[in-house]
Structure 1
Amino acid sequence: MKILNSDELKIAETTLYAHLPKSTKVYGCVFAMNRGKPHALEVLVDTWPAFTTIIFRPDLNNSRAKDYLNKVTLYSTDEEVLRRMLTVENLIDWSTNFLIGGIDVRHLPMLNEIAASRGVNIKEFPLVHLMTFTDPSHLPELVISDLESRVSVLNESHVDVINKTWKYGGDEKSYRNILHYIRHFPSCCITDENNQPVSWVLTYDYCAMGMLYTQPEHRGKGYAKALVTAMAKRLHSEGYPVYCFIEEWNELSYKLFQSLGFTEDPSYRSTWYEFNC
């Protein structure tokens, strides 16, 4: 096991790029770290420089770690190595509440087995589609003439309304996470005459587009399509990976992103798992 330093993270980014799209979430994490985005993570691999398994976990020596959700992200091409890192090497503290996000569903039986052996309860979230995007020429021109001029960016005064409407928000830690995203990652919104956002999309710290939402009274006006189009163009132009996760039940969002040229690997599914919840 090895903890990567800043120079090694740059090499890891190149390695993970070769495993897209299945490595997209961990690639997004290291992409952000390599561009100086503030974080409270440490990155571990099984061997170096060739590795089969990479794990992002909170850095307990970083004072900022306690301010954010206890999140773990991982990618592995060798499940037995992953099992060893999670059990024998104890790279995760199984006595704490933590969330593994964007986990490949093929690892779920192993995670269930480990959790059961340790008496750890699990909350499983819906399966998600990983939707990726590579060609901005697929994006349409905005059909509403004045809509593009109304697209702006979110600011810190908007955090509260987003936190209240986000299905996984509503508490202090989610508030701090949203504030972090707005301060350090791209966002797009459409505001009303009082400069209050009525529709928005953010970028998570692993560089995925997310939290797409339109206030109920403003739906049916093409706002979501305009914001996804604007955000995808911006992310692509700045070199970000352009992708999102869409829950399987959310057919409306799936069709929207599909219509804009986002695609998926139909053999791949992932989900979020919360432990000790």
Structure 2
Amino acid sequence: MKILNKAELQIAEGVLLKHLPKSFMVYGFIYGINRKKPSTLEVIVDTWPDFKVIICRPDPKRVLEFMKNVVYYYTLDDQMLRKMLREENSVDWSTHFVIAALDVSHANMIKEVSSDREVNNRVYSLVHLMYLPDSSHLPPPTADSELESRISPLNLSHVDLVNKTWKFGGNQQSRINIKNLISNFPSCCITDGQGQPVSWILMNDYCALGLLHTLPEYRGRGYAKALVNTIVRRLHSEGYPVYCFIEEDNAVSFELFKSLGFIEDPSYRATWLELNF
């Protein structure tokens, strides 16, 4: 097992690029690190340079202020992943943590390993991984000049509003996480006549679009579509990966992203697994 340094992270990014879309989460996270985005995670592999498993885990040498209990991974070898989780010191099983966007085909194996360690677990809802290979299929930007004039990035004065309305927000840790995302990653919102956001979208620290929300009284006006269209064009122009996770029961968001040219690998589903809670 090896912890990757800065130069090795650059190489790992190139390797993971060849394994999209299933490698998107780890690729997106390392893409951010390589562009000096703040992080409290470190990246380990089973072997180097020909790795089969890559894991992003909390770095014990850093102050863990946001997303402190998250683990991301990608594997080319399920047995090696099992070995690292079972035999290697790849994750700290004594702590509460979440494995984010794990391939559902690995869920039973990870549950088995956690049970062997007498660590409880629970699975959140399944999600689609949707991505946009290029922007050629995007519809033209909105011709509504008045709406265009109200599209801008979020700022720190908006943190509490986003935290209050986020499904997984409402607590201090989520507030710190949202503050980090607004400060360091692209975001986009539509404001009302008083300059307050009524619809918005952010980018997570693993470079996936997320936290898309429109206040109830402003829904049905095409705001979400205008925001996604706007931020996706910016991301493509700046070289970011463009992808998102959508819960299986969120048909409205799925159809929105599909209408904008996003596609998915129908054989792949992901979920979030919480352990030692």
Would you say same fold, with TM above 0.5? yes
In the alignment, which residue of structure 1 is the partner of 2:179? Answer: 179
- Report how far residue 149 of structure 1 moved: 2.2
In 2, are the aligned partners of 1:70 and 1:97 still within 8 Å (CA)?
Answer: yes
TM-score normalised per structure 1: 0.97
Separation in 1 of the partners of 2:37 and 2:134? 25
Separation in 2 of the partners of 1:20 and 1:67? 26
The one-letter code of the counterpart of 2:126 is: L
TM-score normalised per structure 2: 0.97
In 2, are the aligned partners of 1:69 and 1:174 still within 8 Å (CA)?
Answer: no
In 1, are the aligned partners of 2:98 and 2:274 still within 8 Å (CA)?
Answer: yes
- Report how far residue 204 of structure 1 moved: 0.2
In the alignment, which residue of structure 1 is the partner of 2:11? Answer: 11
Separation in 1 of the partners of 2:231 and 2:205? 15
In the alignment, which residue of structure 1 is the partner of 2:166? Answer: 166
SS of the residue 1:190 aligns to: strand
SS of the residue 2:28 aligns to: helix
Stretches of structure 1 that go unaligned for 5 or more consecutive residues are none
SS of the residue 1:147 aligns to: helix
In the alignment, which residue of structure 2 is the partner of 1:69? Answer: 68
Separation in 2 of the partners of 1:115 and 1:126? 19
In 1, are the aligned partners of 2:55 and 2:73 still within 8 Å (CA)?
Answer: yes
SS of the residue 2:201 aligns to: strand
Q: 2:32 aligned with 1:32, yes or no?
A: yes
Q: 2:105 aligned with 1:117, yes or no?
A: no
Q: Spell out the pairing of 1:52-201 with structure 2 (5 A cutoff).
A: 52-63=52-63, 65-141=64-140, 142-201=142-201
- Report how far residue 67 of structure 1 moved: 4.3
The one-letter code of the counterpart of 1:111 is: I
Q: Map Cα deviations across residues 23-79 of structure 1 (whole Å, 9 max, x no partner).
A: 01100000000000011111000111111100000101012x244331000000111
Separation in 1 of the partners of 2:199 and 2:94? 39
Q: 2:261 aligned with 1:261, yes or no?
A: yes
In the alignment, which residue of structure 1 is the partner of 2:20? Answer: 20
In 1, are the aligned partners of 2:71 and 2:99 still within 8 Å (CA)?
Answer: yes
In 2, are the aligned partners of 1:44 and 1:55 still within 8 Å (CA)?
Answer: yes
Separation in 2 of the partners of 1:116 and 1:86? 12
SS of the residue 2:189 aligns to: strand
Separation in 2 of the partners of 1:69 and 1:123? 18
Number of residue pairs the alignment of both structures matches = 276
Stretches of structure 2 that go unaligned for 5 or more consecutive residues are none
CA RMSD of aligned residues (A): 1.0
Separation in 1 of the partners of 2:2 and 2:117? 25
Q: Map Cα deviations across residues 145-200 of structure 1 (whole Å, 9 max, x no partner).
A: 42222110000000001001000011111000000000000000011122211000
The one-letter code of the counterpart of 1:193 is: G
Residues 67 and 145 (structure 1 numbering): CA distance in 2 closer, same or farther, change over 3 Å? Answer: closer
In the alignment, which residue of structure 1 is the partner of 2:48? Answer: 48
In 2, are the aligned partners of 1:152 and 1:189 still within 8 Å (CA)?
Answer: yes
Separation in 1 of the partners of 2:4 and 2:26? 14
The one-letter code of the counterpart of 1:78 is: D
- Report how far residue 235 of structure 1 moved: 0.6
Q: 2:218 aligned with 1:214, yes or no?
A: no
Separation in 1 of the partners of 2:130 and 2:193? 33
Q: Map Cα deviations across residues 105-132 of structure 1 (whole Å, 9 max, x no partner).
A: 1111111101111221112111100000
In the alignment, which residue of structure 1 is the partner of 2:250? Answer: 250
Residues 178 and 247 (structure 1 numbering): CA distance in 2 closer, same or farther, change over 3 Å? Answer: same
* 87-96 or 205-214, which deviates more: 87-96
The one-letter code of the counterpart of 1:92 is: V
